[in-house]
Structure 1
Amino acid sequence: MQPIARILLTGAVVASAVAVGGQPAMAGGDSHIVLPGQSIQAAVDAAHPGDTIQLLPGTYDGGVRVAKPGITIQGADGATVLRPGGTNHCLADAGPSGICVIGVHGVTVRALGVEGFDAFGVIGFQTDALHVTAVHAVDNGEYGITEFESTRGEFVGNWVSGTREDAGLYVGDIADAHGTKVVGNHTSGNALGVLVRHAHNVTVSGNFADGNCTGIALVDDGQAGGQGDNRVTANIVTANNRFCPPSPDGVPPLQGAGIILVGGQRNEVSANKVDDNLGGPVPFPGGILLVPGVTAAGGPGAPAAHNLIKANVAHGNLPADLINHSGSGSNVFEANVCGTSQPAGLCV
């Protein structure tokens, strides 16, 4: 288990991410051009807040640690790729990761690839206004693109695939994410496509999730404060039918779930298209599902309550398109176009 995971599992929730949000954005700045084979880390170390690290087409060593505000790392789209090699400067904070952004405001990572890192492709920890745009995060170990204990992040227009253990895109462990956005990404072939866990005020919109073990999940994992006030809207979630075996930390096997709320309150799931998620021999298959949360020990937790499930279109999911096993009668189901539901009568 990597250092970030150890911090979170011991409950060391740090409030500094919100405090960082008061820092002003950086303007202007110089450009530092880095050629293939040269050190991105050296360029970051030499940069000042507001500077841009410009990467030309080619392959670079990853493990880049950014702890200065306002830095932009700019690639040349798919022609710029970071892979493991040389010294990984993220080890102490986040394990073997491609780019780690630690404790600062206003960093942008744009138009590059991060491939083959055992922990994270791109990770923000205690950041504010981290922007990750047009990044290809491929075949990373734990998470593809993620932020922990962070606010006002934007993950926009990324491609994330082949994340082996957890989620392609992840936002978690923050009492108030202050509108973090996960928008317009394509997530395919991961364990979970998009995961929002133990977080509030996150928008997941306009993403395409296919071929994962689970498409999109909102999870209350029993930590104080729960999960809620999130919006999942206008996503296309189709054929997330890979099989993921149970994990050593107690996550059950996953297969054939489109959008799932594991506990949580006051979430909105609306205007999504959810098709052909075909359940297997797992606890939580189906199109759109509401089930109780879990406790820290892994047992049943608080019901999924006061959630709005509205105007979704769901067909061809098994065992049903819409499943309410939430444990609460407070959820609202309105104008959902689907073929089958549990209990019956939730479709129009």
Structure 2
Amino acid sequence: MALSLLHCPGIWCLTLLLSVLWTAAPLYAGKENHNGVHVQSGQSIQAAIDAAAPGQTILVEAGTYNEQLTIETDDISLVGLGAVLVPPSTPIHNTCSGLAGPDTEAGICVTGQNVELAPFVTEHEKVLSVGRPVKHVLVTGFEVRGFSGINVAVVGAQATKVVGNQLKDGGQYGCLTVGSTDTHVDGNTVVASDLKFIAICADDTPGVQVVNNYVNGYVIGLCVQTSGAVYRHNELANLCIGAFVDPNISGADVSGNHISNANPACTTIAEVGISGVIIDGAVDTTVRHNLIEGLTAGGQPNKTAVGVVIIDEPTTDPVAVASGNIVSENVLRNNDLDIYVQTIGTGNVIENNECSSPSELCG
């Protein structure tokens, strides 16, 4: 199903659009923007990026561009005006090649210099060190479609903004930010026509914000691998897991999101199941003011869809124990089970939630 920023409901849509316009408005100054460079259909976006000086804006006109893009220059604003980015016939090797696994590529790779990556084990490569971060890059207004690994990747960067894009059918990730600081992923539409792995993941240092995004069609909507990360006001539908907070992550904020209507295929995937928010051995997480509804396994035997889950993670060494987490003032309705807690941890607070099951954890 084709989706756009215009196909979203009510106040959320208005807030999202205003956020995108407020962030991007200074870039559309036309002749008054003396630093603007225009790329026409048939021209090379990468050539314009390579020639750009820090502080320049690159305006990419409508058209389909068969390119992979690498941004390594500070203060570059890459603005799509109806531009669609699809994989080239021959992949281009850059920092993001193999980031999501062997032989995977990224559509747009925002990368620092001399980034050292650990060998791939699972999910994505980890950043060991960054020689020099790339700073203050903006990517907005693009449709990025069908790259084998990641549609937009941010690696070893500082204060990158990925705002108001349509990211479709990323093979492993819609957007991944790793080894970066102060990344903002705001107002994007991240969708898949069939079930893909993760829509948006942040494996960063503190300062990351993932807000106002629309996500549909992934196993995991929001992957929380950054302590202190903020995930707010996202619209998440047709997923297996709305938000997954990883073991030993501290102080993440998952608030004000709407999670609804699980993908029917999720019940066929072993060890995944259906959940709104999973706190898996994380500590001091805040889960507040979310609406989580319509999560059901369809009555299949031995399968239960759950709104909020708090559990320990026994596979880590030592065991990651869920402690000090707050689940408060959420609305959970029409789920198989609203809240499930199974932890030896202390200080977890479950209070003032509007829900029905189990009754001792509701109200």
The alignment yields a C-alpha RMSD, in angstroms, of 2.3
Matches within 5 A, 1:31-110: 31-76=36-81, 79-94=82-97, 95-103=104-112, 104-110=134-140
Output one character per residue of 1:229-267: Cα deviation in whole Å (capped at 9) or x when no partner.
1101110001123434898xxxx5323211111110011
Is the 1:189–1:242 Cα contact (8 Å) retained in structure 2?
no
Post-superposition offset of 1:294: 4.9
Q: What SS class does the counterpart of residue 38 from structure 1 fall into?
A: coil
Q: Which residue of 2 aligns with 1:347?
A: 362
Q: Secondary structure at the match of 2:224?
A: strand
**TM value normalised by structure 1:** 0.81
SS at structure 2 position matched to 1:44: helix
Give the equivalent residue in structure 1 for 2:152.
122
1:214 aligns with 2:231: no
Does residue 261 of structure 1 match 2:279? Answer: yes
Identity of aligned residues (%): 28
Q: Give 1:61 shift.
A: 1.8
User: TM-score by structure 2 length?
Assistant: 0.78
1:171 matches 2:198: no
Q: Establish whether residue 311 from structure 1 lines up as the match of residue 329 from structure 2.
A: yes
Pick aligned residue for 2:343 from 299, 322, 326: 326
Q: Give 1:334's aligned amino acid.
A: E
Distance 2:140 2:302 in 1: 37
The 1:328/1:109 distance shift into structure 2, 3 A limit, reads: same
Separation in 1 of the partners of 2:149 and 2:324?
35
Cα distance in 2 for partners of 1:90, 1:73 equals: 20
The offset of 1:212, in angstroms, is 1.0
Opposite residue 73 of structure 1, the aligned amino acid is: L
* 2-structure distance, mates of 1:164, 1:53: 33
Q: Structure 1 residues 232 and 40 mapped into 2: Cα distance closer, same or farther (>3 Å)?
A: same
Query: Which of 230, 240, 243 matches 2:262?
Result: 240
How far the C-alpha of 1:317 sits from its partner, in A, is 1.0
Give yes or no for contact 1:63–1:84 (8 Å, CA) kept in 2. Answer: yes
Quote the Cα distance in structure 2 between the aligned partners of 1:61 and 1:140.
Answer: 15
Alignment length (residue pairs): 302
Return the letter of the residue paired with 2:345: S
After TM superposition, the structure 1 = structure 2 runs for residues 229-308 of structure 1, keeping only pairs within 5 Å, are 229-244=251-266, 253-279=271-297, 285-295=305-315, 301-308=319-326
Distance (whole Å) between structure 1 residues aligned to residue 60 and residue 89 of structure 2: 17
Aligned counterpart, 1:202: 229
User: Aligned partners of 2:148, 2:302: CA distance in 1, in Å?
Assistant: 27
After superposing the two structures, state which structure 1 stretch, 277-286 or 201-210, moved more.
277-286
Unaligned runs of 5+ residues in structure 2 are 1-26, 28-32, 98-103, 113-133
**Matched-pair contact (CA < 8 Å) for 2:96–2:153:** no
1:186, distance to aligned residue in structure 2 (A): 0.4
* Counterpart-to-counterpart distance in 1, 2:197 and 2:283: 23
In structure 2, give the amino acid aligned to 1:227: I
SS of structure 2 residue aligned to 1:98: strand
Q: Distance in 2 between matches of 1:245 and 1:62?
A: 37
The verdict on how the C-alpha distance between 1:323 and 1:152 changes in structure 2, with shifts beyond 3 A counting, is same
Tell me, in whole angstroms, the C-alpha distance in 2 between the residues paired with 1:239 and 1:65: 36
Secondary structure of residue in 2 paired with 1:215:
strand
Question: Any conservation in 1 of the 2:111–2:156 contact (CA below 8 Å)?
Answer: yes
* SS of residue matched to 1:161: strand
Would you say the 8 A contact 1:240–1:255 is kept in 2? no
CA distance in 1, matches of 2:241, 2:215: 11
Give the partner amino acid of 2:305: P
SS at match of 2:50: helix
Q: 1:92 to 1:180 in 2, by over 3 A?
A: closer
Distance 1:326 1:336, change over 3 A: same
Structure 2 CA distance for aligned equivalents of residues 142 and 285 of structure 1:
24
Question: CA 1:107 to 1:282, structure 2 compared with 1: closer, same or farther past 3 Å?
Answer: farther
Matches of 1:115 and 1:136, distance apart in 2: 8
Contact 1:241 1:257 in 2 (8 A): no
